[in-house]
């Protein structure tokens, strides 16, 4: 373990090299701190969806034009159902869905904003308990210092990739406020419910993936307490950010595959498959 001491006439031989190494470490940290700050911001800051509120309002206005048609459809089915209990239940089911659709579509901006805030608070709570030194260059051992110098470029490259993926996630989270009312609209229409689930699942993955990234980083930082990893902090940090990047990609792919499977298994999906088969 390297020990930093005050410089004096009696210890210049040991003090000067340590001060030199300390200066090198400070330079390295100066290079990576802006990247780390950007990563933290993209992880913990809730996506600002206010910019897209006018577009959200247009989408909701267009959707609201269908409310009256659905009420007429549900009311007409209720009136002609007579003593047929199955038809009456179906008409009531449609009427209930229309009421819930109106509530959730009109409140979709607030609901989406609250979900974003919840994800941000959860992520920030995990990030705040991680030791900041885990992400920085440190002068704690000769082996670790040598590894930090040799792996600085791969570390910076990994951070840049992480920033790109988190930036894309942030963009999708902002734009998602426009698609959320459409998802709510589709969800309460039985033939289109699978498409509503598809959009909702994708948006939830985009919103909550930073929380899982933060948990991954916290788990990696906790491994430093294990003696075998003490002298390989930079390696562990690079592996942690690589795992975060892979997690974001795999979760997105899994959400798309799962959503697509649910669409194909829906009534409309089966109808499309049969039509394609006959063609």
pLDDT digits (tens, 9 = 90+) for 154-206: 889 999 999 999 999 999 999 999 999 999 999 988 888 888 888 898 899 99
Contacts of 148 (CB under 8 A, 6+ apart): 25, 28, 137, 138, 233, 234
In this prediction, residue 26 carries a pLDDT of 76
Q: What is the mean pLDDT of the chain?
A: 81
Contacts of 240 (CB under 8 A, 6+ apart): 216, 217, 219, 220, 221
pLDDT in tens, 74-100: 777 767 765 666 767 777 777 888 889
In this prediction, residue 83 carries a pLDDT of 64
Instruction: State pTM to two decimals.
Output: 0.80
Q: Within the chain, which residues score under 50 in pLDDT?
A: 1-5, 9, 275-276
């Amino acid at each position: 373990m390297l020990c930093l001491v005050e410089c004096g006439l009696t210890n210049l031989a040991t003090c000067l090299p340590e001060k030199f190494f300390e200066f090198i470490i400070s330079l390295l940290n100066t290079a990576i701190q802006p990247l780390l700050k950007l990563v933290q911001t993209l992880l913990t800051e809730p996506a600002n969806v206010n910019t897209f509120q006018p577009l959200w309002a247009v989408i909701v206005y267009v959707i609201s034009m269908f409310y009256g048609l659905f009420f007429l459809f549900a009311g007409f089915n209720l009136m002609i159902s007579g003593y047929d209990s199955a038809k009456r239940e179906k008409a009531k089911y449609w009427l209930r869905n229309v009421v819930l659709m109106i509530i959730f579509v009109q409140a979709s901006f607030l609901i989406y904003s609250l979900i974003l805030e919840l994800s941000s608070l959860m992520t920030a709570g995990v990030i705040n308990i991680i030791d900041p030194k885990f992400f920085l260059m440190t002068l704690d051992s000769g082996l670790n210092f040598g590894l930090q110098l040799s792996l600085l470029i791969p570390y910076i490259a990994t951070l840049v990739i992480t920033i790109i993926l988190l930036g894309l996630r942030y963009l999708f989270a902002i734009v998602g406020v426009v698609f959320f009312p459409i998802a709510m609209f589709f969800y309460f229409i039985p033939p289109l419910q699978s498409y509503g689930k598809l959009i909702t699942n994708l948006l939830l993955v985009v919103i909550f993936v930073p929380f899982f990234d933060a948990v991954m980083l916290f788990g990696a930082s906790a491994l430093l307490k294990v003696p075998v990893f003490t002298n390989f902090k930079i390696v562990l940090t690079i592996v942690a950010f690589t795992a975060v990047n892979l997690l974001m990609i795999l979760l997105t792919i899994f959400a798309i595959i799962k959503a697509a499977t649910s669409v194909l298994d829906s009534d409309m999906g089966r109808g499309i498959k049969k039509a394609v088969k006959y063609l």
